Amino acid sequence: MPIATVNPADGETLKTYEPMGEEELERRLQLAEATFRTYRLSSFTDRSRLLLQAANLLEEDQRDIARVMTTEMGKPIRQARAEAAKCAKAMRWYAERAEGLLADERPADADVEDSGATRALVRYRPLGPVLAVMPWNFPLWQVIRFAAPALMAGNVGLLKHASNVPQTALYLEDLFHRAGFTEGCFQTLLIGSGAVDEILRDERVKAATLTGSEPAGRAVASASGEMVKKTVLELGGSDPFVVMPSADLDRAARVAVTARVQNNGQSCIAAKRFIVHSDVYDAFAERFTEGMKALKVGDPLEEDTEVGPLASEQGRADIEELVADARRSGATVLCGGERPDWPGWYYPPTVLTGITREMRIHREEAFGPVATLYRAADLDEAVLIANDSPFGLSSNVWTQNEAEVDRFVRDLEAGGVFVNGMTASHPAFPFGGVKRSGYGRELSGHGIREFCNITTVWHGA
């Protein structure tokens, strides 16, 4: 895949970049290793000052970088500005809290005495250069939620971004440099996916994190496993959105529309499978379908656009194939289902019902604005349908019954359960999944400790 900015709203190639050669890549790896030797000794105060400056600069750049993101991958411009603001918020969160999150831990006095020590502690130390393989769908946020904690922990970052967002990738490197971080603290590697394996096997790279597809995750995990390197993987998701009879149906349906089409439906944590109790199925389906029909699809640079184009022509083709397969197997299309007759990689908000286990869309992630509706007879069947997926990233539950909430929290196979609200990531809460959605956690204290050497320090008499 070429490294290029191709505007998904019209298919025009705006900029192309040559991949880095071996000599430049080697220079950057050497620089990362050398920089880590000194950066790891920096104080939390110094790191915080630099990260806060990066947050300030990002806020100043918000409108410009939002336009770049929208031009590169098609998200509505208002959502792009919100993404930039969220990144600045996360940088401030880690800048202000990292020292406390990584403070030495003191075991109980009784345990210290029982171990034969005069004193003991647990210290969090940085690992070294960390490779981040990141996707295009949230081209700022996916990187910042890795970079902010990694840099505050004393690690240095190497970014291999998706090949269709090179301008955003280069902006990120420039942002950290302008903030005052030395050149080797954060570097963008303009390389194709074929070069990742060799970097993973380089002894100077100590760990890796990937957000992306399941095949990409398998490849990174395999290479890293052979080298016995730590990895964090956030892969696909096909999140359930369960609606029970006690739910506020009007609000649930409104939120369901946003949950499905956020980022043009190209989000791992977007709700994709809507599982509705039989008692309220018809009422919810009507409200939800009308809400999907009413969305404005169009130029993502226009302020009132709610759904823009998919990021690539292949992405649209993949969605079309999933819908066609479901139709052939008997699914009913309540709205959408046909690409519009205008330039760009647009696909309309679509609702399918009559889904069966044999359909591809039942077991594969639909990365676009396509929702599937399921009817559940009771809570038990709702849980069965929700868990009948290879993925387990997050989940949404709508009910006013606390006993039902307890059951869903106990039984849903997911890294998050959001009750009467839409799944969203926040720097204070751990983010990640189970099953084929990956392993490890980003964000919160859990995320900053993923790439630390958790060191026991024991003192004898």
Q: pLDDT tens digit string along 250-289?
A: 999 999 999 999 999 999 999 999 999 999 999 999 999 9
Residues catalogued as catalytic: 234, 268
Provide the 10 A C-beta neighbour count for residue 403.
8
186: part of which helix (H) or strand (E)? strand 186-188
- Give mean pLDDT, residues 45-55: 98
Residue 90 one-letter amino acid: A
User: Residue 47: its pLDDT value, please?
Assistant: 98
- pLDDT tier for residue 461 given thresholds of 50, 70 and 90: confident
Report residue 133's pLDDT band, with 50, 70 and 90 as the boundaries: very high
DSSP-assigned letters across all residues of 417-461: -EESS-----TTS-B--EETTEES-BSHHHHHHTTEEEEEEEE--
pLDDT over 70, % of the chain: 100
Q: What is the mean pLDDT of residues 144-153?
A: 98
Q: DSSP of 82-137, one letter per residue?
A: HHHHHHHHHHHHHHHHHHHHTPPB---HHHHHHTT-SEEEEEEEE-SEEEEE--SS
Tokens standing for residue 338? 């046909």
In the predicted structure, residue 240 carries a pLDDT above the cut 80? yes
Give the mean pLDDT of 74-79: 98
Distance CA 454, CA 153 (A): 12
Nearest-angstrom CA–CA distance, 249 and 229: 47
Evaluate if residue 136 carries a pLDDT over 90. Answer: yes
Q: What letter represents residue 156's amino acid?
A: V
Buried (b) or exposed (e) across 288-303, using 16+ Cβ within 10 A? bbebbeebebbbbbee
pLDDT bin (cut points 50, 70, 90) of residue 329 is very high
pLDDT tens for 405-456 read 999 999 999 999 999 999 999 999 999 999 999 999 999 999 999 999 999 9
Q: Retrieve residue 181's tokens.
A: 């971080």
> What is the model's pLDDT at position 2?
85
Instruction: Over range 318-322, report the average pLDDT.
Output: 98
Give the mean model confidence (pLDDT) for residues 337-356. Answer: 97
Gap between the Cα atoms of 185 and 128, Å rounded: 10
pLDDT of residue 62: 98
pLDDT given at position 383: 98
Write the pLDDT tens digit of every residue in 3-38: 999 999 999 999 999 999 999 999 999 999 999 999
Q: What is the mean pLDDT of the chain?
A: 98
Supply the pTM of this predicted model: 0.97
